[in-house]
A = this chain, B = another copy of it.
Amino acid sequence: MKDVLVIGAGGVSSVAVHKMAKNPGLFGKVTLASRRRFKCDAIAKSVQERFGVEIATAEVDADDVDATALLIDQVKPKLVVNLALPYQDLNLMEACLKTGVDYLDTANYEPRDEAKFEYGWQWAYQDRFKEAGLMALLGSGFDPGVTSVFATYIKKHLLDTIATLDILDCNGGDHGQHFATNFNPEINIREVTAPARHWENGDWVETPALSERQVFIFDQVGAKNMYLMYHEELESLVKHIPEIKRARFWMTFGEQYLTHLRVLQNVGMTSIEPVMYEGREIIPLQFLKAVLPEPSTLGETTKGKTNIGDIATGTKDGAEKTVYVYNVCDHEDAYAETGNQAVSYTTGVPAMIGAALMLNGQWRGTGVFNMEEFDPDPFMDMLNAHGLPWQVKELPEPLKF
């Protein structure tokens, strides 16, 4: 039994559902549900047109545990694939426990009223999932997700020990807009404006947001400014690969993006503190989201490529060695295949792969798991087979910064 219930109807969900429909051997019946059913229906129509496959749709408010549990009981899936907002992770885990169904997501839980990125909330479900004989797989997107699988692949095949790990996330795409975010603007801006944090010698080092910049030349994209940030996979990676002495995450941003972001911060439009407006509380960041372009509308015009990967330095057979594992994804190719650009594609495909591995039993266990706790090889093979081929390079020396 390989039926899945997918929750959420944004770009990532659209990619995952298209990919599930494209691989009927891996999945049974697919049901897609979200708060706004017309968005599910639009995805179902595209899936039907592209691949001739029917998927079911439903309406559900993922903030409502009972309503979600009711839907799960009706649909009776083997697995709930959570591609809704990170605010809803805990509610959906509750609904899965209530109904005895496995769980997968692509981003860790965040409380709405605080931009705090920690696995603690979800790790706390460990015993309850174990006792229920259920499995929860956390963070099966690209970053987190593939970047963790790359790390375990490096550890298994390329290095004996990892001393330093740098995750480099480059979006070399151009959407032709003055300012837009590549995924949910609210989630994106919360992440970008949070202080940077990296792991060094057993401790977290915090630095101001966007204060540390390096230039890196990305394959098939070129030289880009990238900025030190915090990203959730750092927390689980240093837990599960404790030999890592330094772990950092970098993301590229253009000058125009940063100028716009700085101004929006300066005037208070990125704040998550409510403002009184005509007698009602409005969160500026949420209103900003309403005026910015819908990320899903950017697909058609976005050109260029993403390049995301891991650079690790460690030892192999006693000698220092630096390796680089990365994927390059083309925005226009991704759009041609599923109607979504590469930022959604690179997250939606790994969600589909994680779900397939859970359903076929290759990745199996009871409790709450991060990606690096499983054998990377089947996941790496599926990346190559399903549109996200990766490359390995040996670098002549460690990163100089």
Chain A residues in the interface with B (C-beta under 8 A) = 178-179, 259-260, 263-264, 266-269, 271, 275-277, 282, 284, 286-288, 290-292
Set B263, B276, B284, B287: member contacting A264, Cβ < 8 A: B263
Top 10 A-B pairs, shortest CB-CB distance? A178-B266, A263-B263, A268-B291, A277-B290, A260-B263, A179-B267, A284-B291, A275-B290, A275-B291, A179-B266
Contact among B178, B267, B287, B288 for A292, CB-based, below 8 A: B267
11 contacts between A and B (CB under 8 A): A259-B263, A260-B263, A260-B266, A263-B263, A264-B267, A267-B291, A269-B288, A271-B291, A282-B282, A282-B287, A284-B291
Find chain B residues with CB under 8 A from A266 CB: 178-179, 260
CA distance in complex: A268, B178 (Å): 10
Q: How far is the CA of A259 from the CA of B178 in the complex (A)?
A: 13
> How distant is the Cα of A180 from the Cα of B290 in the complex, in angstroms?
23
| Most B CB within 10 A of own CB, among A179, A275, A277 | A277
Q: Chain B residues with Cβ under 8 A from A277's Cβ?
A: 282, 286-287, 290
Q: In the assembly, how many copies of this chain are there? A: 2
CA A290 to CA B267, docked complex, whole Å: 10
Distance in angstroms from A284 CB to nearest chain B CB is 5
Distance A282 CA – B280 CA, assembled complex (angstroms): 12
Scoring A260, A269, A286 by chain B CB atoms within 10 A of each residue's CB, the highest score goes to A269
**A292 contact set on B, CB distance < 8 A:** 267-268
CA–CA, A72 and B264, complex, Å: 43
- A287 to chain B: which residues have CB within 8 Å? 277, 282, 284, 287
B259 pairs with A276, CB closer than 8 A: no
| Cβ contacts under 8 Å, A267 to chain B | 178-179, 260, 264, 288, 291-292
In the bound complex, how far is the Cα of B269 from the Cα of A269, in angstroms?
A: 9
C-alpha gap A277/B283 in the complex (Å): 11
Report the minimal beta-carbon distance from A256 to chain B, rounded to whole angstroms.
9
Point out the residue from B259, B260, B263 that lies within 8 Å of A179, measured CB to CB.
Answer: B263
Q: Are A291 and B269 in contact (CB under 8 A)?
A: yes
A121–chain B nearest beta-carbon distance, Å: 27
Nearest-neighbor residue (CB-CB) of A261 within chain B: B263
A267 and B276 CA atoms in complex are apart in Å by 22
| Known contacts A260-B267, A271-B291, A282-B290; 8 further A-B pairs (Cβ under 8 A) | A178-B267, A179-B267, A264-B267, A267-B291, A267-B292, A269-B288, A269-B291, A284-B287
A178–B282 CA distance with the chains assembled, in angstroms: 22
* A10–chain B nearest beta-carbon distance, Å: 18
Residues of B close to A282: CB separation below 8 A: 277, 282, 287, 290
Which B residues touch A286, using CB under 8 A?
A: 277
- The residue on B at minimum CB distance from A267 is B179
Residues of B with C-beta under 8 A to A291: 267-269, 271, 275, 284
Q: Tell me the complex Cα distance, A178–B267, Å.
A: 7
Cα distance, A277 to B287, chains bound together (Å) = 7
Q: Which residue of B lies closest to A177 (CB)?
A: B266
Minimal Cβ-Cβ distance residue in B for A265: B178
A276 / chain B contacts, CB cutoff of 8 Å: 290
Residues in B with CB closer than 8 Å to A263 are 178-179, 259-260, 263-264
Query: Once bound together, how far apart are the Cα atoms of A276 and B179, in whole Å?
Result: 20
